[in-house]
Structure 1
């Protein structure tokens, strides 16, 4: 645990996990230094649209499922804002998705779009990654290698993918979205060098989901296979914690296509044996195992001194 509260930057590649390849060296470099694992999601409702999936998985990531279920109201009547839930946390989401803009505002986030960072028409590629990186860190009070004691935000989440780009067609654009995240990770890691003032205060999370995974799920199961289990001890295995909520089993757990997550903060997060940002490597070497996606926000808030205990 750091001796001062951290500030969190979350880069969320929505639906982009399957497009990470060996050429994305910054993403893999982060994984090799980070604590890696999975965030499990519930099963998708029948006939869910892509727009509904975007908001539902975003709501899970922020433990705001009640607000998602309450979407028919202008403001949520079922849950407090992010600031009320996490000890006055100042939080922002950067997105070009109109659905996430509306939902983020509803649960108390300050909503920004990419044009607020780079001053152009809102596309991700209208200016240099260095400038966008600098503007993101500035929102968290990191500027010119120094930490400003009073920051505009404690937590900034950047959503890229699943319609994030404007004035362009989808299809091959997801490849460019993944390359952009790779460059953004490189820019942040280059600025937050180990031992630097920023490196000791910045808590960086890279989250990548599979989106509409189709038939990929058959090869991306987080359950232990029969070959991985010792048959003599199989009857003694406890129920895995990600399938529980308190003392009760979760009734709706998707055991395939989880979100992939790598978290890094110099001298705060542990480093596991993963070398690449991939499902296979995380399952074999990831130190964080599997946690429910709705616990992610709580664990980050603890690093920011905005939650009373780890995993609260």
Structure 2
């Protein structure tokens, strides 16, 4: 853990894991220096629309699923991010209409991409280096220095709006994937190891598979197969902790198509043996293995000194 409070930047490529290419070298560079693993999600309801999926999975990442399924809006009130995490100031940047509404309900300061630079309405219209500088400015990083104060402790950037038809969405995701690669490259260039920013910036890159209804690809399962249990102690193979919540088994765990996650903060996070941002490399060499997606924000809050203990 850092000796000073960190500030967190989360880049979330919603539905983009299928569009990762080996040529996206900045993603591979991040993975090679990061702590890598998977976040498991619940199974999707059979009648769920794409836009509903976007909000539901975001809610799970924030451990706010109960707030998402409360359709009445009157029986319960979900505590805000600030109330839950010791006054943490958080911003959500997205162009998804439903996600903006839900984020505001959870206490995020909600921005869209044209708020970063005037008269730019699409992410791909914004030069990646300019966006990186603006995101870091929101976190109190400017010209390679860490300012004493910042607008936010955490900035969550959601890329992938979920409001297009399938053909258009696939094309947009492929284009956005290249843009995410450029954003990561810009961040790594500014937050060079040993720089003032690198030890204070906690960077998380999340890549999800989007709409998944059936397990039709065993190569994307986080379960350990019989052939992979080669140890002499395989008979003692325990139930993996991601299938549990406290002392009770989780009732709904999707073992396939998890969110891929790489987290990096210079001299703070562990470096794994991963060389490429890919499902296979994460499974074979990632140190984080598998954790439930609803634990994600708790870990980040701890890193920015807004939770009293890890996994709180």
Aligning the two structures, in what range does the TM-score lie when normalised by the shorter sequence? over 0.9
Partner SS for 1:46: coil
Give the match for residue 199 of structure 2: 200
Distance 1:102 1:229, change over 3 A: same
- In structure 2, how many angstroms separate the alpha carbons of the residues matched to 1:125 and 1:307? 35
Q: CA RMSD in A?
A: 1.7
1:1-312 correspondence to structure 2 within 5 Å: 1-73=1-73, 77-163=76-162, 169-213=168-212, 216-230=216-230, 233-312=233-312
TM-superposed deviation, 1:220? 0.7
TM-superposed deviation, 1:233? 3.4
Distance 1:164 1:51, change over 3 A: closer
1:76·1:106 contact (CA, 8 Å) conserved in 2? no
1:95·1:164 contact (CA, 8 Å) conserved in 2? no
1:32·1:271 contact (CA, 8 Å) conserved in 2? yes
TM-superposed deviation, 1:202? 0.2
TM-superposed deviation, 1:250? 0.5
1:94·1:157 contact (CA, 8 Å) conserved in 2? yes
Which structure 2 residue ranges, 5 or more long, are not aligned? none
- In structure 1, how many angstroms separate the alpha carbons of the residues matched to 2:31 and 2:75? 36
1:66·1:78 contact (CA, 8 Å) conserved in 2? no
Partner SS for 2:204: strand
1:96·1:164 contact (CA, 8 Å) conserved in 2? no
Distance 1:87 1:76, change over 3 A: farther
Q: TM-score, normalised by structure 2?
A: 0.95
- In structure 2, how many angstroms separate the alpha carbons of the residues matched to 1:71 and 1:141? 37
- In structure 2, how many angstroms separate the alpha carbons of the residues matched to 1:50 and 1:62? 19
TM-superposed deviation, 1:170? 2.8
